[in-house]
Chains A and B, each alone.
Chain A
Amino acid sequence: MSTIVEPLPVTAPARVRQVAIAGNPNCGKSTVFNALTGLRQRVGNYPGVTVERKEGTFFGSHGEQMSLLDLPGCYSLQVRSPDEAVARDVLLGRVTGTPRPEVVVCIVDATNLERNLYLVAQLLELRLPLVVGLNMMDMVEAAGMTIDLDELRTRLGVPVIPLVASKGVGLIQLKQAVSQTPLPELGNRAPMPELIEREVQMLAAQLPVPADVAGPEAMLLLTLHDRALEELAEHQRSVVEATLAAQARIEAAGLDPLSAPVDARYTWIGSICAAAVRKGGGSDRTTSDKLDSVLTHPVLGWVAFLGVMALMFFCIFFVAETPMGWIESGSALVESWVVNAMPEGDLRSLVTDGVIAGVTGVIIFLPQILILYFFLGLLEDSGYMARAAFIMDRLMSRVGLHGKSFIPLLSSFACAIPGIMATRTIENRKDRLVTILVAPLMSCSARLPVYVIIIAVLMPAAGGWMKSGIMLSMYLIGIIAAFAMAWLFKSTLLRGETPMLLLEMPPYRWPSFFTIVYRMWERALIFLQRAGTIILALSIVLWALTTYPKPENPDATPAEASAYSIAGRLGHAIEPLIRPLGYDWKIGIGLIGSFAAREVFVSTMAIVYNVEDGGESTEPLRDMMRAERRADGSPVFTPLVCIGLMVFYVLAMQCVSTLAIVRRETNSWRWPMFQLAYMTALAYFGALVVYQGGRLLGFQ
């Protein structure tokens, strides 16, 4: 008997629904995004963590795939900074290659409903299906407030889902709301004055944009002031003139075209909040307020800030000692195993003096880098970062730095790359450029290994507090240099007024242990990945440069052979340039290698000393550096040379990746090249002043 198998009906591939998450800064958008997509976008308890749109996918309540866009936070669609413009452009379908979202999820900080509903009011005007996610409902309860969700749903005309995104509460209902077919109905809009509505319709008819966005585009145009209208590049001249004419007609009728729509929205929001929100009867002074009276105090705030930094550096030295010891012993064990297993020769030298010395020389600092990230995570997640920005603003505004520069500068302590990307929150181009130019002066985590090894050479027997004091000084030198250069740029190249800082103070929250541990894990992976790729490759190349060519005399000592090698010759060639800084040719090779990545200095020193030693010694690098002598028998690493070298590393621009990101952000090679030139000159001058000035004062 034959069986007839009928072919399955061919169905068109299911369309992927485009969903966008919008909302005010620091309301939990990225937390919702991460929870829905399973991705691990960076989150933090301060405004401006997300500065780019991030895309992910998730599966709706019926298993259908959906695309999810996480947009940077914005208070309204009248944008002020490049990151806010990203959100507006995506929502209006202006971005080529990114379809206009079919449904928008607006995440709202429920503890601050009135302010957050302003963006909701504007999103409702976009005539897109909207779902409101009322986040931080646990904090609403804790504050004794109540929100009448049914009243809110009725007034807004859209689904309102209560959420505690950090605990995953309400996410299933949110998924169900965006998975609905048909999509949620378009909600209610804030009633506008009749004249404004009429002018918007007339202006919309003249705009060369699709009909579904013409109304919102016209409303945005109508609320722009003359100068902003003149600067518009995306509209024709006739559109600008039509807008100016419409504004004139509104003004003639006794209304302000810029503020009338804003007032109308706030009146509407006021009526909604009056009907839906019941405030608790507790004290107005919250725990956050009480903490802020100390942490943002003009004197106590500084004491707390410096105390936190000092504690962080103490832990970096004290707590990391034990795991560093384990890595050191493990490395010595592997090295001795290789020495026993392989016959003597160049290949064994490559493995022990090149690969093992170079790579483990850097890996040994992993515990310290993880502790740095643990503290940065604690500060970011708890909400302290915004307070630190507030107390630093008093100082920063004096040198002309925008208050919003603080978050990018503080992010640069981890790595200058996210720091430079975070400058997108700064509205003014000149202020943004100044911040980009000085951000790499903040000591990033790649400098940590260099500081640690030099401090160990400088004071091997000193206690943790002493070492952390020196480390703190290096960080402070970087901050002072950044402020001084910012002042110089603001008074010469990039002149302009510094706007006032308007910064939202997020409430203090208990840091999420999982977020911090995940971030540390992520950094450990990046660090080990770098050690296993770039550092490994550079170590092999550096070993070859310090080993070949070999001297013709077979009886030459390892030191003579090292000086005869390509690296030795290169080092000797640049020695006249670095001799005024007190450096010998070996340090010179380390400096050259550091232009690929700063931590390569440690690998280079390890390779140079191991090769020169003929691979005989297994003593730690710091002891080899301390034992290094000049031709006259005096030590190479004197206190002045060590301090000068650290100052050089504080001030020098030695990171190719940072130059690449500055090129991308400024859209020109001019600024990264200028940055490289000024920072190298500053580093040389700084190290020269330390060494020569110290000698003049009688130090060694």
Chain B
Amino acid sequence: MNPVIEQFAIAAAVGGACGFLLLRPLLRRRSGKACGGDCCTPGKIKPKRAKKSKRR
């Protein structure tokens, strides 16, 4: 592999990881999740819609 591409890929991965770790708390706080990862339920389900009545 081209050493320049290899070094670039590694720099991008490490930079991306550092950026993610630094920005994550700020983004979570902005979205109102100040409590870390474990107390928030993922994958909220949409509310059930009432069945339409067949009567006219």
Q: A residues near B, CB below 8 A?
A: 36-42, 56-63, 175, 342-343, 345-347, 350, 415, 417-418, 421, 522, 525-526, 529-530, 533-534, 536-538, 540-541, 544, 596, 655-658, 660-661, 664
Q: B residues near A, CB below 8 A?
A: 1, 3, 6-7, 9-10, 13-14, 16-18, 20-21, 24, 34-39, 41-50, 52
On chain B, the residues within 8 Å of A39 by CB distance are: 44-45, 47
B17 touches A38 (CB 8 A): no
B42 touches A417 (CB 8 A): no
On chain A, the residues within 8 Å of B9 by CB distance are: 347
Q: Shortest CB–CB separation between residue B8 and chain A, in angstroms?
A: 10
Q: Shortest CB–CB separation between residue A82 and chain B, in angstroms?
A: 16
Could you tell me the distance between the alpha carbons of A639 and B42 in the complex, rounded to whole angstroms?
40
Given contacts A37-B47, A39-B45, contact A526 B35 (CB under 8 A): no
Can you give 25 A-B contacts (C-beta < 8 A)? Answer: A36-B48, A38-B45, A38-B46, A39-B47, A40-B41, A40-B44, A40-B45, A58-B47, A59-B48, A63-B50, A345-B1, A346-B7, A418-B39, A522-B41, A525-B43, A529-B42, A533-B20, A536-B17, A540-B13, A540-B14, A541-B14, A541-B17, A656-B36, A660-B34, A660-B35
On chain B, the residues within 8 Å of A175 by CB distance are: 50
Most chain B Cβ neighbours within 10 Å, of A39, A40, A533, A537: A537
Could you tell me the distance between the alpha carbons of A58 and B13 in the complex, rounded to whole angstroms?
43
A63 touches B47 (CB 8 A): no
> In the complex, which residue of chain B has the Cβ closest to the Cβ of A545?
B14
B39 touches A417 (CB 8 A): yes
Could you tell me the distance between the alpha carbons of A58 and B52 in the complex, rounded to whole angstroms?
14
Given contacts A346-B6, A657-B35, contact A541 B50 (CB under 8 A): no
A350 touches B10 (CB 8 A): yes
Most chain A Cβ neighbours within 10 Å, of B1, B20, B38, B52: B38
> In the complex, which residue of chain A has the Cβ closest to the Cβ of B5?
A347
A529 touches B20 (CB 8 A): no
B17 touches A417 (CB 8 A): no
Most chain A Cβ neighbours within 10 Å, of B3, B35, B42, B43: B35
B37 touches A530 (CB 8 A): yes
Given contacts A38-B47, A537-B17, contact A63 B52 (CB under 8 A): yes
A544 touches B14 (CB 8 A): yes
On chain A, the residues within 8 Å of B34 by CB distance are: 660-661, 664
Could you tell me the distance between the alpha carbons of A473 and B29 in the complex, rounded to whole angstroms?
38
B35 touches A664 (CB 8 A): yes
Given contacts A57-B47, A63-B50, A522-B41, contact A417 B14 (CB under 8 A): no
B38 touches A525 (CB 8 A): no
Q: Considering the complex of A and B, which 9 residue pairs feature the smallest CB-CB distances, nearest first?
A: A657-B36, A540-B17, A537-B17, A59-B50, A415-B38, A38-B48, A417-B39, A544-B14, A537-B20
Could you tell me the distance between the alpha carbons of A60 and B50 in the complex, rounded to whole angstroms?
7
On chain A, the residues within 8 Å of B42 by CB distance are: 522, 525-526, 529
Given contacts A38-B47, A38-B48, A537-B21, contact A661 B37 (CB under 8 A): no
On chain B, the residues within 8 Å of A421 by CB distance are: 35, 39
On chain A, the residues within 8 Å of B1 by CB distance are: 342-343, 345, 347
Q: B49 touches which one: A63, A350, A537 (CB < 8 A)?
A: A63
